[in-house]
């Protein structure tokens, strides 16, 4: 095994960032193709930048974020957060008491780790399922969670979404929606309603997922809950700082639903090209992906690597040899090791799909060559 724990994940991320830096310095930014779907961005004019002071910044940009954010997310009030995970933590700290139950329904496991981790921190009992028939709300439940679109972009069925909200509200329990990518994916590509419009009490989205914004979280919902959550957010320093707030505001304003819809069409072309060589790629709404388990099925050489290790080595080869950035090398501890090629971001529009297909194939051949040599794999992932 190469990646065994969170520290290993921090180390592989450090290596990935240093590979990225070296490429930018030696060959320029254009040598990189960020296909994570979290390409981030910082859109700001120089007059806006000059207002980024500790108190003037929030006065100017948080005010406007209220209206722009509510339009994007629905709800009565929004709060900008350092990350989606920070918002989830703050909501759990506010709404969930020790020994109470938190139940979570999502289209496909696993949930984002911030949800179980936050529950553990407050001493709550956490249950999750992706089987709708098995979802129920026990006595002494303090919070019901729904994920709108999972880390691997599996989108919830809207009828199930509504039913879970109904079940929770019959018992007077608040509903939090983790709509990190879903706030855009569900609404634009699947024509679903905003989580708050479906009755969610709070919903949170990630402002760098499928939109040109910074890493950050934007939570929207019922004003009374948002106000209480905001207290915790400020007490623990979980709020977004003025530069991120400005970039969120401009990211939302510059969000182009057409990019998502275009990638929805292009993904079929890439999928068909890949299928000439592979059997286990899957389509996502805006690209293609291969899970660690499916990647392992493609490998025809004996090796001692775990499925996740194979995914990390493969994604590091793509990065090192072709400048293709996917999530596994750069992700935070606990994130999914699925390799997703998202076609909705600016870099993806610069790529010829035949060319991308060839790069994926030749990276895979290299993976097969090195998979038998654990030392070599370790070197690729950690540069040591």
Ligand X SMILES: *Cc1c(COP(=O)(O)O)cnc(C)c1O
Task: Tell me which residues touch ligand X (CB under 6 A).
Answer: 83-85, 112, 114, 147, 150-151, 178, 180-181, 206, 215, 217, 332
Least distance to ligand X, CB of residue 207, Å: 8
Closest CB to ligand X among residues 147, 284 = 147
Distance from C-alpha of 345 to C-alpha of 341, rounded to nearest angstrom: 10
Least distance to ligand X, CB of residue 115, Å: 8
Collapse the DSSP code of 142 into the 3-class scheme (helix H, G, I; strand E, B; otherwise coil) and give the result: strand
The single residue listed with the structure tokens 């030749």 is 362
Closest CB to ligand X among residues 75, 217 = 217
Host H or E run for residue 289: strand 287-290
Q: Which residues contact 58 (CB under 8 A, 6 or more apart)?
A: 242, 245
Least distance to ligand X, CB of residue 26, Å: 29
Token pair recorded at residue 256: 């182009």
Least distance to ligand X, CB of residue 339, Å: 15
Distance from C-alpha of 379 to C-alpha of 211, rounded to nearest angstrom: 34
Closest CB to ligand X among residues 208, 309 = 208
Per-residue DSSP letter, 340: E
Host H or E run for residue 66: helix 56-73
Q: What are phi and psi of 301, to 5 degrees?
A: -110, 150
Least distance to ligand X, CB of residue 262, Å: 21
Closest CB to ligand X among residues 320, 338 = 338
Peptide bond into 110 cis (omega under 30): yes
Least distance to ligand X, CB of residue 120, Å: 16
Distance from C-alpha of 253 to C-alpha of 176, rounded to nearest angstrom: 25
Contact 80, 65 (CB under 8 A): yes
Closest CB to ligand X among residues 112, 359 = 112
Peptide bond into 270 cis (omega under 30): no
Closest CB to ligand X among residues 157, 268 = 157
Question: Using CB atoms within 10 A of its CB, is residue 200 exposed (0-12), middle (13-18) or buried (19+)?
Answer: buried
Q: Which residues contact 270 (CB under 8 A, 6 or more apart)?
A: 287, 288, 341, 343, 353, 356, 357
Closest CB to ligand X among residues 180, 296 = 180
Collapse the DSSP code of 245 into the 3-class scheme (helix H, G, I; strand E, B; otherwise coil) and give the result: helix
Least distance to ligand X, CB of residue 371, Å: 28
Closest CB to ligand X among residues 303, 344 = 344
Least distance to ligand X, CB of residue 300, Å: 32
Least distance to ligand X, CB of residue 150, Å: 6
Q: Give the CA dihedral 34, 37, 38, 41, nearest 10 degrees.
A: 70
Closest CB to ligand X among residues 112, 230 = 112
């Amino acid at each position: 095994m190469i990646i065994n724990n969170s520290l290993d994940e921090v180390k592989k991320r450090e290596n990935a960032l240093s590979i990225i830096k070296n490429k930018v310095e030696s060959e320029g930014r254009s040598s990189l193709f960020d296909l994570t779907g979290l390409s981030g961005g910082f859109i700001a004019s120089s007059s806006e930048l000059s207002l980024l002071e500790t108190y003037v910044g929030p006065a100017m940009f948080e005010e406007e974020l209220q209206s722009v954010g509510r339009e994007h997310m629905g709800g009565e009030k929004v709060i900008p957060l350092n990350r989606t995970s920070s918002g989830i933590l703050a909501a759990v700290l506010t709404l969930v008491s020790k020994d109470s139950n938190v139940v979570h329904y999502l289209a496909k496991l696993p949930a984002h780790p911030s949800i179980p981790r936050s529950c553990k921190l407050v001493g709550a009992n956490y249950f999750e399922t992706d089987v709708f028939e098995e979802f129920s709300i026990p006595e002494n439940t303090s919070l019901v969670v729904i994920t709108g679109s999972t880390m691997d972009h599996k989108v919830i069925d809207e009828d199930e979404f509504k039913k879970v909200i109904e079940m929770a509200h019959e018992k007077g329990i608040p509903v939090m929606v983790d709509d990190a990518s879903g706030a855009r994916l569900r609404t634009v590509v699947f024509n679903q309603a905003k989580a708050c419009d479906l009755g969610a009490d709070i919903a949170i989205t990630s402002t760098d997922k499928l939109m040109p914004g910074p890493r950050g979280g934007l939570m929207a919902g019922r004003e009374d809950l948002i106000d209480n959550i905001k207290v915790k957010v400020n007490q623990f320093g979980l709020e977004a700082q003025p530069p991120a707030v400005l970039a969120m505001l401009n990211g939302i304003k510059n969000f182009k639903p057409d990019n998502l819809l275009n990638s929805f069409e292009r993904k079929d072309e890439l999928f068909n090209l890949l299928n000439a060589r592979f059997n286990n790629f899957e389509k996502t709404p805006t690209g293609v992906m291969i899970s660690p388990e499916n990647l392992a099925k493609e490998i025809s050489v004996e090796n001692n690597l775990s499925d996740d290790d194979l995914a990390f080595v493969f994604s590091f080869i793509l990065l090192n040899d072709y400048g293709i950035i996917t999530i596994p090398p750069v992700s935070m501890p606990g994130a999914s090791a699925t390799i997703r090629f998202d076609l909705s971001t600016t870099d993806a529009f610069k790529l010829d799909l035949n060319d991308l297909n060839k790069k994926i194939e030749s990276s895979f051949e290299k993976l097969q060559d090195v998979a038998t040599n654990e030392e070599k794999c370790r070197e690729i992932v950690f540069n040591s």
